[in-house]
Structure 1
Amino acid sequence: MNDNSKVLLVDGMALLFRGFYATAYTGNFMINSKGIPTNGIYGFLNYFIDSIQTFSPSHVICCWDMGSKTFRSEIYDQYKSNRGEPPIELVPQFDLIKEVVEAFEVPNIGIKGYEADDCIGTLANHYSKEQDVLIVTGDQDMLQLVDKRVSVALMKKGTGNYDVHTHDTFHEQKGILPLQVIDLKGLMGDSSDNYPGVKGIGEKTALKLIKEFGSIDELLNNLDNVSKGIKKKIEENLEMLHLSRNLAKIHCEVPISCSLEDALWRMDNERVVTKLEDLEFKNVSRWMNKVI
């Protein structure tokens, strides 16, 4: 393995959903002659190919959620219960996008009972022992994975815009350490994942408390040193505080593996073009020219 190797871990669900909603709001579902909507796949490819072009990885892996039932929904049945069923136009694109990724000879990784985040965390931990790892996602939760050899590129609005967080810059950008993100989320909760944290404590207060005490455990050991109002809120929501911290923590010991040889970026142009033309995408050469 050469010193310039870089493993790109792609949060497939983040790219697909972002690609879908970027076009769906106009009602443009790009339905092909077989009656299959392809707008999510098209949007995914724009983001996916841009990340290859921007970060020039030596290896690429794409991770996926495998259904809504996970160990998190088992320990808290309201987890993500605020999310409705995926749009009917997106459903057929879930399987198709994996076929497209396969055409790029990029491994699709996912396992029932866990989220894509957990797969990414597990692989990042494994590969970063010897390689640099970059995670492309839209999910702030992934920031807890930043480490000496693990960086996280958060997708911003539009294509080609990333907020890259590295081990060297993280504290300066956020004011806390990567692993403290878990305790931060434990206190403030996460409305998008539908767990409340400590009711009445928002991001600003949670950040102040983590900066002051370093962790939830230290905060609980020093409750007499916080205001009566905050102490009361924490004591009344103690069970949910611990539960929220467990929900926020990315599980990095998922029973998955992927050899780096299988993840080597070595695109077969002909195979990719055949697949994209089968989906009836136009201007396929525009994408190909970006990653050749």
Structure 2
Amino acid sequence: MNTIYFNKNNIILIDSSYYVFHRYFATYRWFSFQNIDVSVDDITNNEVFITAFYKHINNDIKKICKKWNTNKDNIVFCVDCQRTEIWRNDIYDTYKATRVQKNNFNKKIFSIFNDYINSLGFKYISQNRLEGDDVIYLSQKMIKTQLEILKNNDINVVIITNDNDFLQLVDKQVCVYNMQFKELVKRGFNNPKVDLLFKAIYGDKSDNISKIGSGITKEKALMISNMTDIEREKYIKESGYEEKFMLNMKLISFENIPKEYTDIFSNNVKIILEN
């Protein structure tokens, strides 16, 4: 059982993979101006690079705590399972298949990062078969349940990521920002349901999820998303989009995480909020 204790400050859930990529490439850009001749394969062994990497992690944490009036005890890194083990592969075998690692990225940075945040005593949550996105969704759901029981409306949950999938979770207590501290809700339609439906209809190239039909433009996707549920269901069925729409919703909507994995999460993770 992974028991996570939170105090009365705001709670920060960080998409760990996003953060590692963000911090690695930001450090890499800085390092490239230092005129140090090191190959990408050896960069994680370079003291100058790693020292800067650690330093900027520490600075990031300070900035996060200051912006959201919290402390490191209320920060949790939410970690991906192995890509080949993601449950979505079971229903869509080309999920994320088009993603290619950049040639200036050294994947050893992940284990270096994990060791470092462990040494600093940061909390993290992971589970077999779940992406970090799923972990964030299930964690914020648990937290909101606890807040409701405590009748506490003063604590906010801040999700740090650059993934528009999380727009479906935005409400009065949940907000989504990236590491530039830009609020992702401004990318969407200011309506979590419409944001979810639009993505399911229009697809997501970054995850190799295609549109529900070749004739779907952004304008048409938004039009369908804004229909009533009855109108949308009728339109999608009559247009022959039903099967693809249902598949995309299974892949994109966090509410469709299979019960067997949500049950395992509930049995393995316990969240306790200070009363």
TM-score tier (shorter)? 0.7 to 0.9
* Structure 2 residue aligned with 1:246: 250
Pairs within 5 Å for 1:177-216 = 177-198=191-212, 199-211=214-226, 213-215=227-229
* Structure 2 residue aligned with 1:65: 80
Count, aligned residues = 241
CA contact (8 A) 1:24 1:39 kept: no
**Backbone CA RMSD of aligned residues:** 3.4
Q: Greater RCO between the two (CA within 8 Å, min separation 6)?
A: 2
Counterparts in 2 of 1:132 and 1:27: CA distance versus 1, 3 Å: closer
| Alpha-carbon separation, structure 2, partners of 1:223 and 1:12 | 36
CA contact (8 A) 2:201 2:221 kept: yes
Pairs within 5 Å for 1:1-292 = 4-24=8-28, 28=32, 30-33=43-46, 44-58=57-71, 59-68=74-83, 69-85=85-101, 89-129=105-145, 130=147, 131-156=155-180, 161-163=181-183, 165=185, 174-198=188-212, 199-211=214-226, 213-215=227-229, 218-222=231-235, 234-235=239-240, 237-251=241-255, 253=262, 255=265, 256-260=268-272
CA contact (8 A) 1:16 1:40 kept: no
Paired letter, 1:179: K
Cα distance, 1:54 vs structure 2:
1.6
Per the alignment, in what secondary structure is the counterpart of residue 259 of structure 1? Answer: strand
| Alpha-carbon separation, structure 2, partners of 1:2 and 1:186 | 34
More helix, by proportion: 2
Gap regions ≥5 residues in structure 1? 225-230, 265-292
| Alpha-carbon separation, structure 1, partners of 2:66 and 2:11 | 14
Cα distance, 1:187 vs structure 2:
0.3
Counterparts in 2 of 1:86 and 1:65: CA distance versus 1, 3 Å: farther
Counterparts in 2 of 1:179 and 1:154: CA distance versus 1, 3 Å: farther
Per the alignment, in what secondary structure is the counterpart of residue 216 of structure 2? Answer: coil
CA contact (8 A) 2:167 2:192 kept: yes
| Alpha-carbon separation, structure 2, partners of 1:92 and 1:36 | 13
CA contact (8 A) 1:146 1:152 kept: yes
| Alpha-carbon separation, structure 1, partners of 2:197 and 2:236 | 16
